[in-house]
Amino acid sequence: MHQAGSGPDPGGGPPGATADGAHRSRVALRVNGTDRDLDVDHRVTLLDALRETLGLTGTKKGCDHGQCGACTVLVDGRRANSCLLLAVAQDGAEVTTVEGLADADGSLHPLQRAFLAHDAFQCGYCTPGQLCSALGVLGEAADGHPSHVTGTATPEGPVTLTAEEIRERLSGNLCRCGAYNGIVEAVAEVGAEMDGADVAAPSAPATPPSPDVIA
């Protein structure tokens, strides 16, 4: 990362921010498989850089305090609240947003198909963060990372994603519409598919999802 020259602020800096080069830097990111070189104010968050500079508005701004999960993206394969990360601190990182989940030909990611099949969203505002967080959960469980539900002992091998595990691991992603049951069912199905279960494609849930909160 090196200091950039002065100029207009393309990084979503605060109104009236100085154009002094001492307050700006160039940042190299690999976003959804594409290398991007940004010139950003040091105060710009990764969330604002994604939305305002790169035009990737799928990542949503909710609370802007890291409490709702709407801005969740994957940074170097691990889920993170992009509203809490300064863009300049992510130099060299690989970032995946909801726009990067589908294949190049437009084929939906298994999680996206499962969310549709299980009616795992209503207004959809939190859905991009839910999807990115769910993808992170699948990776964490496959790598054997325990949760509060798993217990303190590090498991031997992948963690089985029970409904309780999924609820715990996704507890940082809020849904005002209360589509939690469908979200849990969708993630459980894709998790079972990854474990080698005979699930060719997401199927309709056995019972209609209800807008209950995760208990």
pLDDT in the model for residue 202? 33
Residue 19: CB partners within 8 Å, gap ≥ 6?
6, 7, 8, 9
Beta bridge partners of 24: 41
- The Cα–Cα gap between 146 and 75 comes to 20
pLDDT in the model for residue 192: 93
pLDDT for the residue 2 = 47
Question: Quick one: pLDDT at residue 157?
Answer: 84
Q: Which of 25, 39, 129, 26 is nearest to 82 (CA)?
A: 129
Position 168 scores a pLDDT of 96
What pTM was estimated for this model as a whole?
0.80
Q: Would you give per-residue pLDDT tens digits along the chain (215 residues)? A: 544 444 444 455 544 444 556 899 999 999 999 999 999 999 999 999 999 999 999 999 999 999 999 999 999 999 999 999 999 999 999 999 999 999 999 999 999 999 999 999 999 999 999 999 999 999 999 999 999 999 766 667 899 999 999 999 999 999 999 999 999 999 999 999 987 533 333 333 334 334 443 33
Structure tokens of 163?
């409904």
**DSSP codes, the chain:** -EE-------S-PPTT----GGGEEEEEEEETTEEEEEEEETT-BHHHIIIIIS--TTS--SSSSSSS-TTEEEETTEEEEGGGSBGGGGTT-EEE-GGGSS-TTSPPPHHHHHHHHTT--SS-SSHHHHHHHHHHHHHHHHTT---TTT-SSPPSSPPP--HHHHHHHTTTS--TT--HHHHHHHHHHHHHHHTT-S-SS----SS----PPP-
**What is the model's pLDDT at position 82?**
98
What's the pLDDT at 154? Answer: 62
The whole-angstrom separation of Cα 6 and Cα 211 is 50
Residue 12's pLDDT is what? 53
